[in-house]
């Protein structure tokens, strides 16, 4: 089996993105918005698209329905150069579609539905997992990674083969889990990457330093807390580092955290130090916010390197 640099595992969907929603009705059942668009999305899709654009040999293990939304995701990933041979497609379950309301500052709210809770079984694909240099769980605490047995099986298989493990996170939507529910799995994670709200939810702490300590105390080797406009905070047993956000005018924050994770992972695989990879991931996330949709703005690694050069001037 061909060796994969990064295998992204998790959710694949279509985002219906609405910008400039006006809550004042224009009729009994009608509302206006400034724009609406359809974009491929889901944490695993966003991460895979970014990693492939950055030159990584990237695969994705995810579920799609045999429907128009699934076709859209499949063909978009193929166009980005992602290996789609591990995608599972079925007639009985639709591809999830998320409605997202994006504010002018780039912040957003999303609406999920029953299709998002379908839990496929990535632990059954051991050969694909073991053949990767790194896997990204996109995202821990959401299907398919809202089942402790599935989580442990995937991470154990990866860990036994020396695969580098990244776990992005989400707030729960259908099956809430706590850190204690995953006490066997968490020590197998090399890097966990919650945003500030997620870290606060799972640790019950308020400061990045306190949040990171809780994750480290549960055995996770490295913690990155994404702080949005405040940058990011990194901690392991040896050091702590706060990196400010890049200077950028945000349009839509959808997928920024996913691009951060994929960018960070790609640089580590190229041999970068944690601090260097953090700066690169930070730039990937910032670039992603400059266009509507998670995969529209970031083009390739040269774009990111040029952006970092301008930021340092």
Q: Which fold has domain 4-20+35-311?
A: 3.40.1190
Q: Which helix (H) or strand (E) holds 193?
A: strand 191-193
Q: How many CB atoms lie within 10 A of CB 81?
A: 16
Per-residue pLDDT tens, the chain, 313 aa: give them.
568 999 999 989 998 989 899 989 999 889 999 999 898 989 999 999 999 999 999 999 999 999 999 999 999 999 999 999 999 999 999 999 999 898 877 677 888 888 887 778 999 999 999 999 999 999 899 989 999 999 999 999 999 999 999 999 999 988 899 999 999 999 999 999 999 999 999 999 999 999 999 999 999 999 999 998 899 999 999 999 999 999 888 888 888 999 999 999 999 999 999 999 999 999 999 999 998 888 889 999 999 999 999 988 6
- Taken in order 275, 108, 301, 266, the sign of the CA dihedral is positive
**Where in the chain are the domains?**
4-20+35-311
Q: What is the 3-state secondary structure (H, E, C) of 136-153?
A: EEEEECCCCCCCHHHHHH
Q: What is the DSSP pairing of strand 13-19 with strand 35-41?
A: antiparallel
- pTM beyond 0.85: yes
Q: What is the pLDDT of residue 2?
A: 63
Locus of tokens 């702080």: 227
Locus of tokens 């799995």: 185
Residue 134: strand, helix, or coil: strand
């Amino acid at each position: 089996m061909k060796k994969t640099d990064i295998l992204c595992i998790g959710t694949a969907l279509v985002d219906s993105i609405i910008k400039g929603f006006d809550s004042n009705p224009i009729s009994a059942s009608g509302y206006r918005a400034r724009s609406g668009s359809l974009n491929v999305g889901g944490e695993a899709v966003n991460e895979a698209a970014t990693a492939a654009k950055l030159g990584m040999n990237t695969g994705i293990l995810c579920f799609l329905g045999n429907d128009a939304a699934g076709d859209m995701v499949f063909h978009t990933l193929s166009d980005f150069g992602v290996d789609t041979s591990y995608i599972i497609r079925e007639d009985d379950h639709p591809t999830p579609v998320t409605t997202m309301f994006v504010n002018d500052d780039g912040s957003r709210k999303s609406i999920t539905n029953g299709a998002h809770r379908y839990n496929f079984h990535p632990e059954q694909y051991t050969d694909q997992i073991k053949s990767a240099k790194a896997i990204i769980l996109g995202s821990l605490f959401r299907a398919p990674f809202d089942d402790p047995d599935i989580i442990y099986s995937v991470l154990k298989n990866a860990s036994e083969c020396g695969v580098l493990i990244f776990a992005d996170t989400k707030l729960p939507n259908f099956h809430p889990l706590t850190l204690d529910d995953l006490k066997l799995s968490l020590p197998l994670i090399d890097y966990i990457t919650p945003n500030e709200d997620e870290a606060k939810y799972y640790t019950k702490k308020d400061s990045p330093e306190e949040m990171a300590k809780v994750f480290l105390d549960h055995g996770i080797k490295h913690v990155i807390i994404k702080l949005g406009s405040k940058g990011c905070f990194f901690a392991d047993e040896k050091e702590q580092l706060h990196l400010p956000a890049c200077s950028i005018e945000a349009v839509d924050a959808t997928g920024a955290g996913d691009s951060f994770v994929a960018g960070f992972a790609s640089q580590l695989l190229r041999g970068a130090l944690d601090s260097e990879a953090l700066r690169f991931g930070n730039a990937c996330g910032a670039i992603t916010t400059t266009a509507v949709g998670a995969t529209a703005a970031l083009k390739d690694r040269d774009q990111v390197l040029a952006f970092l050069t301008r930021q340092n001037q």
